[in-house]
Structure 1
Amino acid sequence: MNLPMLGHTHGNRSAVTCHLKCDSACASPPPNTSTEPTFAEIARGQLSRRAVLIGGGALAATAAAPALVPQLAAATEGRRAPGESTIRGPLSFQPIAPVDAAKDALTVPPGYEWTPIIRWGDPLFHNSPAFDPEHPNAEAQELQFGYNNDYLDIMVTDRAGREALLVCNHEYTNRDIMFPPTDNEAQELEVIRTLMAAHGFAVVELRRRGKGKPWKYVRGGEKNRRITAYSLFSLTGPAAGTDLLKTAADPSGKKVYGTVNNCAGGTTPWGTVLSGEENFNGYFKADPAVPENARYGLTGSSVYGFEKVDPRFDATNPDYVNEPHRFGYIVEIDPMDPTSTPRKHTAMGRMKHEGANVRVDDDGTVVAYMGDDERFDYLYKFVAKKKYRKGDSAAARRHNLTLLTEGDLYVARFSGQQKPDNANLGRGVWIPLTQNGKSMVPDMSIEEVLVFTRLAADKMKATPMDRPEDVEPNPRTGKVYVACTNNSQRGTDGKPGTDAPNPRPQNKNGHIIEITEHKNAANATTFDWNLFLVCGDPEESGTYFGGWDGPVAPISSPDNVAFDSAGNLWISTDGAPSGIGKSDALYRVPVQGRERGHLVQFLAVPSGAETCGPVIHDLDGSVFVAVQHPGEDGSWEEQQSFFPDYVPEGSRPDRGDWRGPRPSVVQVTRA
């Protein structure tokens, strides 16, 4: 395996993960080569801890030269010493200390225990074959739980709290640790088909004895479902049926087989699940000389070799030159109806969607917030044309299932202009890319805007961000939180420099932005914003934790976020601060009140793993996470993790009794 990122990763991130998940994107120049003026050329607002307005938890901007950026949120001298502080609330716990990255264990607070709900390869249906990685088989994998689950939700479906649906996506695969080496080409082609079947989604019924008790999955549940890289999807919205989406296999331009690299997501008020097709570029063989391909990071070769078993993934073939245009959308799945056809919504734009999270205002206005997970790409929102209808009637549900097919698409431009009372660091505007079914971008049709959304946003001078990943509105306050994971090329030669919403050069640890829509209206076209967290080791200068001046846990690369019933923010990470050698983790941090910014660690995942898809049922005493890519750097012969099926004293079992790593959905409950 060629690993361009070997020796260049940050913290505990594996070069293997970089290669398989995003085609080693950071080893290549960022696809955004736009030369449009950025906010950095207008105002370079820098921050100091002494500029913090402690009472409101907001920041005042001060002008500073780029050389002063390391002084962001001044050094940490004078902080209170770490203490044994128990976090109070519906889910009380004793925070854990950071865990050594080499430890092959899932660590939870005292008084809690963890158990896997479901693992890669577990049989979902009565006719599902038993898990047998020694003999890869695509038909078997289509009937089993998939690999590397990322977005997750546990949807309780009865009033007694004893039945639920688990819905998650399966982002990518790691052939070298999943299956043994093959003897011939025919065997290897079956491995590729099996990898395709391990992508996609799973819907699984759950049951338990009562509230607060552990869940168990139901084999053969009526709503159990697998969606894979082979499954039929329909395309919706203005770009569906246009020439840009037609191929030899689909002259209608309205249906697609398969979905890949689904990352974060969201659950809608009408009971469907959204997910983003993120790094789809790595799945296609394509011509990088085509500007539209280059802007989306498509290179001359693919990571997985799917084109060897399915010609659709060879976009150098004139019959399939448009096939990459059919990936990169927000996908909507109805878990309540296992016979329904999942959809890809072109009205929400095409990019490397991390996910989408929906907010519904009192008047029924529906908005979805989205990030394009790439260095120097943009933040978006979609405002639906139709209003949400309350109620569980069949008519209301049919109507709500159409909400994401029509609407207006916006991209964010940040500025540093402050309000007179300095209550916010800056302001921003949502720039329309489409409006009332028409393009708002000069010299681009609406289908061009929706298929080549990045190029449209370039033209409209959006603000290049540090990998905006999960974007989620707080259900209690309406404020929107944007997790910017990192961007090691910020401020390097020839790249955009620092600015107020992206304040650090070579930003290795990431930050979180807090947005307040004007008039607290979801369809507002302007907003205020501030920096809520500037991540890293709190002992280093440059970190900031919402105005909190006491001890906090080190954190890097915020990825997925979620909220508990009290409106506290929970953050899962995709990397740890360099130099401290700690595992990825899940954190909790209040966003308001006296403890705003008081970040503590709840759990740590095993060696090589990433924490994904947090679900917080704090009133039920439960936390759920998807543990992705444990033991990523291993091989079939030399596995580096035995999660979650550990054996006594870490001894290695016989190969016939599989104990290599299995990405899993884990529940944490009170012991």
Structure 2
Amino acid sequence: MRKPLPLIGTPSASHPGGRSALTCRFRCGDACFQEVPNTTSNAYVGDVIAGAIGRRSMMRAAAAVTVVAAAGSATVAGARPATAATADSVAGSGARKKPGHGSRAARGLRFDAVAPNTADAVTVPDGYRQNVVVRWGDPILRGAPAFDPEKQTAASQAGQFGYNNDFLALLPVPGERHRQLLVANHEYTDEVLMFRGYDPENPTRQQVEVGWAAHGLGVVVVEEDRRTGALTAVPRHHLNRRVTATTEFRLTGPAAGSPLLRTSADPTGRKVLGTLNNCSGGTTPWGTTLHGEENFNQYFAHGTRATDKRYGLGTGATERKWERFDKRFDVGQEPNESHRFGYVVELDPYDPHSTPRKRTALGRFKHEGATVRLTDDGRPVVYTGDDERFDYFYKFVGSKRMKKGSSRAVREHNLSLLDEGTLYVARLTGDSPAIEIDGSGKLPADGEFDGSGEWIPLATATSRGAVSHVAGMSADEVFVFTRLAGDKVGATKMDRPEDIEPSPVTGKVYVALTNNTNRGVGANAPADEANPRNANKHGHILELTEHRGRADSTRFGWSLFLVAGDPDDPSTYFAGFPKDAVSPISCPDNVAFDPHGNLWISTDGNQLGSHDGLFGVATRGERRGELKQFLTVPTGAETCGPLVQGRRVLVAVQHPGEIAGATVEKPASAWPDGPGKIVRPAVVAVWRKDGEDIGV
């Protein structure tokens, strides 16, 4: 019988989904221990329709748009049963076949898979090297001092790389060979790991102001060392920039200027200070970056309204106590300030003096990220998920075409593309009767979890104004209270939809659903065909095909591409690939594509006893579903922001050492600088020793 690796931390220190209690406390305000914000009774469409029109009609309707997945098995395990495994096989040395390598593996995945482990290090495959590119506190702006954790000030932090890097983007630097522009999100701060002697009940003003400066975004030029392959930051470059919780932003789009966004400090409703809890994001074809404001609710105290509750605002004080130092974080004093967070932010990284913009046309909720593709006629389509148990995923279809060129007029036109268009929410229909979905992960009679879906319009923004498509809600209300709009139109409740990425090779769209231990528990929504496991602690990945391949379609087909967990668990599935030849995976979070069309998956809260990691999986061809672990991260850390270029992989190592009970005085990790040094989140680059492309 398999013995799992030791759990990270103690049971009392672990929250649902495998995260440390300290992570839940500072990252999302203990969201998993709060009441589920979505209390609507939206019925899963398959439950309603299957009995009404019959299974055969349902399958005909779905067949027009659905993707065919592997069939013929009695469970999600697929056609070929997994082999028995020993305790050692979890650590990579037992009866389980090692995931393929060499010419046997899919192109781009030809490396020896890293075994699950609990090492306090970034562990990479044999034949690969790594280096820390930039870490929290490294000076990146002219005049910024060297990092000294004992003497941090708001001014010094505002010139240094921020805390808890998440989303990463790399863009070319015109005229500078071997250099790229790295853009990073700084999602949140973990004060007990930043300040010696920190008192969570009585933070000082200086600690709070350092926290404000450590949030936001970072832009820094990085340079390749052609001799070693290492990637290092270039301090004081003219493109380097920090955006913080006090940087001025513009609210743009249909809700800008709305009474719902006006405050005593900004009676226009068009100017807001700062961006908070930026998680994942995306890059645009016109050369900007997008950043999703996620768990913004935790920064606002004393919420009492129904809309506050739907967005997870607490009724008491906040963890960081910012409301003591700035009244805008107190809903009782500034009731509309929280309405100015929860958007997708657009940044022009090539203009360090530009004002970043919050795009209200993309709706307000806990944006995990925002990824862009173009329609056939050049209009932007943005996919984004709401990272909450039982919440929804969305699509925005722009109405204006992107222009090519680099003139100021073209640049300004393209910077307006995300202000006009239609916002949609997804509703999924399963093609199996509800009685066949029992919450165990057992496949329905047709041998696959799949179906069809529709994009339901919520509101349309034009240059002349905005129109709501939701009965009983104005356009302003739809764009500011987007969750409520999704409730009203009967969107499908999902298991924490996080990053969403369209494949640049096939056009299929992949939705990472991290986990939902509340699924089917108590009065919560039961399992359905798109979320087929009750108490779903490992998560899954949805594969979506837009009707006729059109990004602006209002119909799509879907199937489950991957159902995560221990491959020996019969409820897991790897697109039909033999389960004795894949790596275990739990809690998919951020996703990205490599040049070969493989999907790369970072994890958050691994429930299998190993540290979180980065995995590559083939999405097409005879090795579709072949999943291999590429790296693991240190103790307490999460793998974020993966970027997979031809010759380099970048990951953001977020919150290392974030284990319950850890402090500056009692660290749980010695990464990245070794014993006796403060633990620091950082960006890591990985490359092949021989300088060849990754995985070929």
Q: TM-score, normalised by structure 1?
A: 0.90
Which ranges in structure 1 are unaligned for 5 or more consecutive residues?
A: 47-55, 63-67, 647-651, 654-658
Report the counterpart of residue 490 of structure 1 in structure 2. 519
Structure 2: gaps of 5 or more residues? 1-8, 56-66, 85-94, 433-445, 690-696
Pick closer, same or farther for the CA change 1:212–1:472 going to 2, 3 Å: farther
Shift of 1:556: 0.7
- Per-residue deviation, 1:413: 0.2
1:404 to 405, 418, 432: 418
* Cα distance, 1:576 vs structure 2: 1.4
**How do residues 626-637 of structure 1 correspond to structure 2 at under 5 angstroms?**
626-633=652-659, 634-637=662-665
> Where in structure 2 are the equivalents of 1:269-308 lying within 5 Å?
269-288=285-304, 290-300=305-315, 301-308=317-324
Contact 1:629 1:663 in 2 (8 A): yes
Contact 2:516 / 2:539 at 8 angstroms: preserved in 1? yes
Q: In structure 2, what is the Cα distance between the partners aligned to 1:120 and 1:230?
A: 19
Change (3 A) 1:60 1:451: farther
The match for 1:555 is: 585
- Measure, in 2, the Cα distance between the counterparts of 1:458 and 1:235: 25
1:163–1:208: 8 Å Cα contact kept in structure 2?
yes
Amino acid at match of 1:626: A
1:100 to 105, 117, 125: 117
Specify whether residues 379 and 92 from structure 1 end up closer, same or farther in structure 2 by C-alpha distance, changes over 3 A only: closer
Alpha-carbon spacing, 1:347–1:668, altered in 2? closer, same or farther (3 Å) = same
| 1:644 aligned onto 2:672 | yes
Structure 1 residue 505 corresponds to structure 2 residue 534: yes
CA distance 1:44–1:281, shift in 2 (3 Å): farther
Instruction: After superposition, give the CA deviation of every residue in 1:239-258 in whole Å (9 maximum; x if it has no partner).
Output: 11010000001000001001
> CA contact under 8 A between 1:273 and 1:335: conserved in structure 2?
yes
Name the CA distance, whole Å, in 2 between partners of 1:338 and 1:246: 27
Distance across 1 between alignment mates of 2:308 and 2:263: 16
In structure 1, give the amino acid aligned to 2:364.
R
Q: Distance in 1 between matches of 2:244 and 2:544?
A: 35
- 2:471 equivalent in structure 1: 442
C-alpha separation between the residues in 2 aligned to 1:604 and 1:376?
Answer: 29
1:185/1:536 CA distance change after superposition, 3 Å: closer
2:634 maps to 606
- Kindly report which structure 2 residues correspond to 1:58-73, keeping only aligned pairs within 5 A, or say none: 58-59=69-70
Aligned-partner Cα distance in 2 for 1:589–1:74: 18
Work out which of the residue numbers 26, 36, 45 in structure 1 matches 2:32: 26
Shift of 1:37: 2.4
Deviation per residue, 1:347-392 (Å, 9 max, x gap): 1100000010001133102100010000000010001120112333
Asked if residue 37 in structure 1 is aligned to residue 14 in structure 2, the reply is no
CA deviation profile, 1:457-503 (whole Å, cap 9, x unmatched): 10000000000000111011111000000000101111111111101
> 1: CA distance between counterparts of 2:167 and 2:281?
6
What SS class does the counterpart of residue 204 from structure 2 fall into? helix
Structure 1 CA distance for aligned equivalents of residues 155 and 207 of structure 2? 11
Instruction: After TM superposition, give the deviation of residue 405 of structure 1 in Å.
Output: 1.0
- Residue from 251, 256, 266 that aligns with 2:272: 256
Change in CA separation of 1:57 and 1:86 when aligned onto 2, cut-off 3 Å: farther
Q: Distance in 2 between matches of 1:362 and 1:71?
A: 36
CA contact (8 A) 1:622 1:669 kept: yes
Q: 1:366 to 1:71 in 2, by over 3 A?
A: closer
Deviates more, 1:308-317 or 1:84-93: 84-93
Cα gap change, 1:461/1:187 in structure 2, threshold over 3 Å: closer, same or farther?
closer
Corresponding residue SS for 2:15: coil
Q: Percent identity?
A: 49
TM-score (norm 2): 0.87
Q: SS at the partner of 1:505?
A: coil
Aligned-residue offset at 1:668: 0.4
Residues 98 and 582, structure 1, Cα contact 8 Å, conserved in 2: no
In the alignment, does 2:118 pair up with 1:86? no
From 621, 625, 639, the counterpart of 1:593: 621
* Equivalent residue, structure 2, for 1:343: 357
Tell me what 2:504 maps to.
475
Q: Is the 8 A contact 2:99 2:582 kept in 1?
A: no
Q: Residues 91 and 158 (structure 1 numbering): CA distance in 2 closer, same or farther, change over 3 Å? A: farther
* Residue type at the aligned position of 1:430: W
**Secondary structure of 2:477's match?**
helix
| Structure 1 stretch displaced more, 423-432 or 71-80 | 71-80
What's 1:323 paired with?
337
Query: What is the alpha-carbon root mean square deviation over aligned residues?
Result: 2.6
Dislocated runs of 4+, deviation >6 Å: 43-46, 183-187, 421-424
Is the Cα–Cα contact under 8 Å of residues 250 and 358 in structure 2 kept in the other structure? yes
1:268 counterpart (259, 284, 301): 284
